[in-house]
Amino acid sequence: MLRLAASAASSRASTGAAVSSSLANAAHPAHTSISYGTSSSLRPRTLCPPNQLASTASFKLTGCQVKSMAEALSTSKLDSESSLAGKRQALFSLSDKRNLALLGNGLQELGYVIVSTGGTASALESAGVSVTKVEELTRFPEMLDGRVKTLHPNVHGGILARRDKEHHMEALDKHGIGTFDVVVVNLYPFYDTVTTSSGISFEHGIENIDIGGPAMIRAAAKNHKDVLVVVDSEDYPALLEYLRGGQDDQQFRRRLAWKAFQHVASYDSAVSEWLWKQTGGDKFPPSLTVPLSLKSSLRYGENPHQKAAFYIDKSLSEVNAGGIATSIQHHGKEMSYNNYLDADAAWNCVCEFTKPTCVIVKHTNPCGVASRDDIIEAYRLSVKADPVSAFGGIVAFNVEVDEALAKDIREFRSPTDGETRMFYEIVVAPKYSKKGLEVLRGKSKTLRILEASKNNKGKLSLRQVGGGWLAQEADDLTPENIQFNVVSEKAPDEKELHDAQFAWLCAKHVKSNAIVIAKNNCMLGMGSGQPNRLESLRIAMRKAGDEVKGAALASDAFFPFAWNDAVEEACQNGIGVIAEPGGSIRDADAIDCCNKYGVSLVFTNVRHFRH
């Protein structure tokens, strides 16, 4: 879990990857994931001391009525605590009741007395497990619509007492409290409840915040030397195996405790995120927690000597929000660190376009982009823009890959020699026809085929720096959101303006300093990542070749110089229209230069730096 915090007095940030995993993998720190409760049943678990409730006039039940109910429960099992003294006890309280019968019967066979809250008790009894209900231990009824249930010394004393502290055990004996050796608890499905597509009221969200459950989990995890705490049904078999073996493995107990605290931490992060949104507060809260769930361990990072893993962001804001992280892989080798970066860049770029479009990316930079009504033509034009770079790249489409397109991807030869079949690392698209998928699978055993959903707009972008994190809004602007203001004497015609908008949208996804040359909805050349804009221009011009005549040029930022620099070179080589943000102290030079050569110049007033 990534945590970012800041105060009004000073800007502070703290980070920590904290994620929970199935214990089969927990011994290795890279094998980690977050577990959320998924059941829809609601079972609050808090209980206040009887003497407080009896003296509180605001409750509908009078003190005498509460006392009477408690005495009735006490009379039915007057010696409940003493009858359990010396016996091993397991405490159950679950929203997610998967595999409950397996664990309940397994523990009962091992001689454990099962103590449980209401809904879980009913499920256990239905599975043939004998159950002692928690109110028989507390001698107090569930009340306040289930809010008051388990915060009671008879419960928490039995969890928190240290067996190696004589005075702890004497205190339990004095009050007739038995110990709990196993605590099995998971939490209300808050995450699923507040992310439902139908929406919920604020009051309903509040009622789904678990109180008693986290308290029991934290208590058991703190006292893990004596209490085994389980929050994930996937761990039931491992727990039973551990108990049957009569082991005393403290590392096993610590891993369970770690997972328990992570379960609560990720749950609290969802509650915190939801509540902050309810306050109508700023997009950048004073403290920020990002829950991360391990999707896969990777072979290595950017380079073979670097270990790596891939995590999914489990923030509420990312639910059904699309993106490469939640894509489905239909075929091919496992994804690598660099594969994820490149696929993300290609997918984010292609999703910007409304017409059928193909984008080819190499090292996160689009080296080929084309939009056409005929997607096969768009694909071929994208390859043609830079076939050398396209080889071994990532191909992305914003339309379905059908059989005809798949065959072209499989068979198309490189324009450099007309013989070499194009090779790709990844193909990513919003969907595939059955035949299209079948054909693509036949191209290569290693070709990774991804099906992804479009990224939602308005996401928060996070990036790590040494000792901290940068947060910003995503760069979601498109040509439809801005004005292309003509500042030159010559105004671009409709076609030239459209070319300028296309080039501008491409430049948004190219690493700075970025120059893109485009014509007829097709990228002709781009220059990226150069320390100065003039070199980026020259690279783009070289790739565009003779097609540069009458084409549009887009720059991600303003030109600091015009004469004997990038603007004049572009004009001299036949560029028809230039789109740039403007804002330089030498903007007048750029305008004068374009006027001299009869080139249209438009200012967007929007910069697109990409580092």
* 363 given a catalytic annotation: yes
Q: Which two tokens stand for residue 167?
A: 């005075």
| Of the listed ranges 33-37, 75-79, 222-226, 577-581, the one predicted with least confidence | 33-37
pLDDT higher than threshold 90 for residue 12: no
Using one digit for the tens of pLDDT, what is the confidence trace for 224-275? 999 999 999 999 999 999 999 877 889 999 999 999 999 999 999 999 999 9
What is the reported pLDDT for 152?
Answer: 82
Q: Report whether the peptide linkage leading into residue 564 is cis, meaning its omega lies within 30 degrees of zero.
A: no
**Cα separation, 297 vs 341, whole angstroms:** 15
Strands 468-473 and 308-313: unpaired
Asked if 383 and 413 touch (Cβ cutoff 8 Å), the reply is: no
Q: Residue 452 is encoded by which pair of tokens?
A: 């992804």
Residue of 77, 168, 222, 384 with catalytic role = 222
Q: How far apart are CA 322 and CA 325, in angstroms?
A: 8
pLDDT digits (tens, 9 = 90+) for 140-162: 777 676 676 777 888 888 899 99
* 377 neighbors 396 (Cβ within 8 angstroms): no
| Whole-angstrom distance, CA of residue 144 vs CA of residue 45 | 11
Query: What is the overall mean pLDDT for the chain?
Result: 85
What is the rounded distance in angstroms from the CA atom of residue 82 to the CA atom of residue 378? 79
Question: What pLDDT, on the 0 to 100 scale, is given for residue 63?
Answer: 40
Per-residue pLDDT at 145? 66
> Is residue 15 pLDDT above 80, yes or no?
no
**Average of pLDDT values for 179-208?**
86
Q: Which residue has the tokens 């249209």?
A: 600
Number of C-beta neighbours around residue 29 at 10 A? 12
The backbone region for 24, taken as left when phi is positive above 0, alpha when psi lies in -120 to 50, beta otherwise, is: alpha
User: What's at 75, amino acid-wise?
Assistant: T
Looking at residue 330, what is its pLDDT? 97
Q: Which of 363, 431, 435, 490 is catalytic?
A: 363
Distance (Å, rounded) from C-alpha 255 to C-alpha 495?
63
Q: What is the pLDDT of residue 31?
A: 35
Q: Which residue matches tokens 């499920």?
A: 123
Burial class (CB in 10 A: 0-12, 13-18, 19+), 272: middle
Per the annotation, the verdict on 222 as an active-site residue is yes
Structure tokens belonging to residue 462: 């996070």
pLDDT, one tens digit per residue, over 46-92 is: 333 333 333 333 333 334 443 433 444 444 443 444 344 458 999 99
Average pLDDT over residues 597-611: 94
* 547-566: b (≥16 Cβ within 10 Å) or e: bbeebbbbbbbbbbbbeebb
Q: How confident is the model at residue 195 (pLDDT cuts 50, 70, 90)?
A: confident
- Three-state DSSP class for residue 487: coil
Q: What is the pLDDT of residues 306-338, one digit of tens each?
A: 999 999 999 988 888 899 999 999 999 999 999
CA distance 391 to 361: 10
Tens digits of residue pLDDT in 80-137: 443 444 589 999 999 889 999 999 999 999 999 999 887 888 998 988 888 888 888 8
Please say if the pLDDT value at position 599 is more than 80: yes
**201 has pLDDT over 90:** no
Mean pLDDT, residues 210-228 taken together:
93
Could you list the beta-strand ranges (E) of 447-514: 448-451, 460-465, 468-473, 485-486
Interatomic CA distance for residues 345 and 394, integer angstroms: 9
